[in-house]
Amino acid sequence: MNIIWPQTGRTTISSLSDSNQYVEISISEQVTTGGAISDTKIKILSFALGLAEHLPLDVWLLAGHGWSLPKNRITTYKKFWRSMSSIGIEKPISNFGDFVANRSTEGIQFCGYRRITTSEASLVERLSARLPCLLVYSPSEEIIAKLLEAGYPTFKGGINQVLERRIRERGLPYARFAEDSDEFTVRLAMKIPRCEMESFTRLVRLSMPD
Condensed to tens digits (0 to 9), the pLDDT of residues 124-141 reads 998 988 888 889 999 999
Q: Between 136 and 153, whose confidence is greater?
A: 136
Q: Is the pLDDT of residue 109 over 70?
A: yes
pTM of the entire structure? 0.83
Question: Strand pairing partners for 104?
Answer: 107
What is the domain count for the chain? Answer: 1
Residues above pLDDT 90, as percent of the chain: 20
Helix (H) / strand (E) element for 96: namely: strand 96-104
Pairing of strands 158-159, 96-104: unpaired
Determine the 3-state secondary structure of 84 from DSSP: helix
pLDDT, position 7: 40
Helices 141-149 and 161-169 pack at an angle, to 10 degrees, of: 140
Which residue segment(s) compose the domain that 163 sits in? Answer: 2-206
Phi, psi at 70, each rounded to 5°: -65, 145
pLDDT mean over 51-62: 86
Q: Give the tens place of pLDDT for each residue, 170-203.
A: 999 998 876 655 556 777 878 888 887 777 777 7
